[in-house]
Structure 1
Amino acid sequence: MTAGSPQHQRADGGAEIVFGLSGGRTALRHLYQSSPMRVLFPDAEPGTAIMGALVNTAGGLAGGDVVRVQARVEEGATATLCTPAAEKLYRSLGPETRVGTALHVGPGAVLEWLPQETILFDRARLRRRLEVDLAPGARLLATEMLVFGRAARGERFREGFLHDSWRLRMDGRLRWADALRIEAPEEALEDRFGFAGAGGFATLLYAGADAASHLPVMRDLAGPLGAATIPREGVVLMRWLGPAMPVRAALASAIPALRAALFGLPPVLPRLWTT
């Protein structure tokens, strides 16, 4: 008799969060969480919105893990969601890691989606989807960053798989869609007409009726590694490509300035980005 292949334990969980107004202030209305996700509520900086910290208690995600996050900000409320550290995607033995995020922002509400970077270990396999629905008058500031390998170890993301997609709906209609698919990382990341050897790639998106008026500021904030454009009415998009640490520094510099310009918040990073 021969033993069969070992069956590894996989995570399958997530979180549901709802914020709404209570007595003129944003408060938590609903929370559901299941392992490996937990949501903590650290004190926010003075003058900033209520903050939810999405914590992966497993310390990283492996092949076959499934994580789902749903967040809703009700009419007139303002909230921030971020992570306390970079998310690590470990080497997979074959299965994909699946991450799905759905964000719903009510009329006149504001949501900041500001997770820290996702690090793709060599041979990681990730399929991730972000879906956003904005009601009339809603506004969103969202970021995501990918790091291709563990730079401190001299590791590159040479084998594996990545499919990362965004879908943004405004007033119930699809306004912007984007997808990044990499099936042969070493070739795609080294191609001079692709990623040209970059170690990091970051996206920042602002969606709101006043988006076009902020394009000049966002272009100034893009710096030498980035650029900003308006892909569709009501959407401004910034992207950076280059070495991982300078890309993260550029993103971390842009976020405080935009929080102040867009929402009148203090020009600081969420505390979890700096502790």
Structure 2
Amino acid sequence: MTIAAPPPAVMQRSHGAGLIAVKSVTNRTRLDRLHQSGNAKIRIPETRTECLEAVLINTAGGITGGDTLNWTVECGMNTATVVTTQACERIYKSLGENGRQTTAITVDEGASLFWLPQETILFQGGRLQRTLEVSLADDARFLGLEAVLLGREAMGETLDDAFLHDRWRIRRAGNLLHADDLRLDLRSNNTLHDPSILAANRAFATLVWVGPEEDGEVRALRLGRVRALLAGSAGASAVGPKLLIRMAAPSGYALRRQLMPVLEHLLDGRGLPKVWRT
């Protein structure tokens, strides 16, 4: 008698999708629509300002190969919204597939959206393909951040097998304003510590601010103020209505210390989300 071998185990995958839409009611931003499914959850803490704060939660605790996580943010006219995450997103070791995250953001006339997720931690063997698509009205404001930590500092983890593809597309009135593709593939190229790339740093961030058209003097003043706040391995440049900032730091703690004063400045006095201070 021949006994058939059991079928190979199928790894369970997590899939989540969340949508939040906001509208303006008597000069305050209020929830219009909310949808959440799977491991994607959205919470709205109480605030005492006209700005609505939304906290995105991945109840799976992280992303691994084959997982998907999709966020949609729709900001109605004359709204002000801050979107952040409950904690750092963890990218766990994969058996070969990429984990995938997509974010689609729409910001209507006179609205402001501050996209400020906490840091992404890329574990040894982690694989992430992430897309950020932003559509802005002519006079909309947008502040977007993505910060990445390479390995778990507390465990002394050093990455020599990991993959990250971060794709940004920001359009205003349908015209492409910013395109960015960051690709790190440590399976075939382990040169992160090259002086021309990250040197001794293990944390980095990209920050993009977009506002209405300004004259050259106002734009130069804003750029000068941001550069005065920057420290360490960081740089800022301005092209038209866009301000682009890139940072690198030896640790996540050092990166956050660089980020916070710049974020506070670009938030126009609104203050950072509560979860950033706990």
Question: Is the TM-score greater than 0.5?
Answer: yes
Counterpart AA for 2:100: R
- 2:256 aligns with 248
What is the total number of aligned residue pairs between the two structures? 268
Point out the more displaced range, 114-123 or 234-243: 234-243
Counterpart AA for 1:251: L
- 1:10 aligns with 13
- Aligned-residue CA RMSD (Å): 1.5
TM-fit CA distance, 1:210 = 4.6
* Contact kept? 2:232, 2:249, Cα under 8 Å: no
1:11-90 equivalence runs, <5 A: 11-44=14-47, 46-47=48-49, 49-90=51-92
Distance in 1 (alpha carbons) for counterparts of 2:126 and 2:102: 17
Q: Which runs of 5+ in 2 are unaligned?
A: none
Partner of 2:191: helix, strand, or coil? helix
- Of residues 94, 100, 112 in structure 2, which corresponds to 1:92? 94
- Of residues 188, 191, 216 in structure 2, which corresponds to 1:188? 191
Normalised to the residue count of structure 1, the TM-score between the two structures is 0.93
Q: Which is higher, the Rg of structure 1 or of structure 2?
A: 2
TM-fit CA distance, 1:48 = 5.7
- 1:117 aligns with 119
Distance in 1 (alpha carbons) for counterparts of 2:50 and 2:248: 29
1:39-65 residue CA offsets vs partner (Å, 9 max, x unmatched): 001123x43611000011111111110
Matched, 1:234 2:241: yes
Counterpart AA for 2:240: E
Identical amino acids, percent of aligned pairs: 35
- 2:277 aligns with 274
Distance in 1 (alpha carbons) for counterparts of 2:171 and 2:41: 27
Q: Which runs of 5+ in 1 are unaligned?
A: none
Distance in 1 (alpha carbons) for counterparts of 2:195 and 2:5: 48
Distance in 1 (alpha carbons) for counterparts of 2:128 and 2:148: 11
Distance in 2 (alpha carbons) for counterparts of 1:272 and 1:108: 26
Distance in 1 (alpha carbons) for counterparts of 2:144 and 2:201: 22
1:233-260 residue CA offsets vs partner (Å, 9 max, x unmatched): 2110111112122112111222112212
* Contact kept? 1:182, 1:188, Cα under 8 Å: no
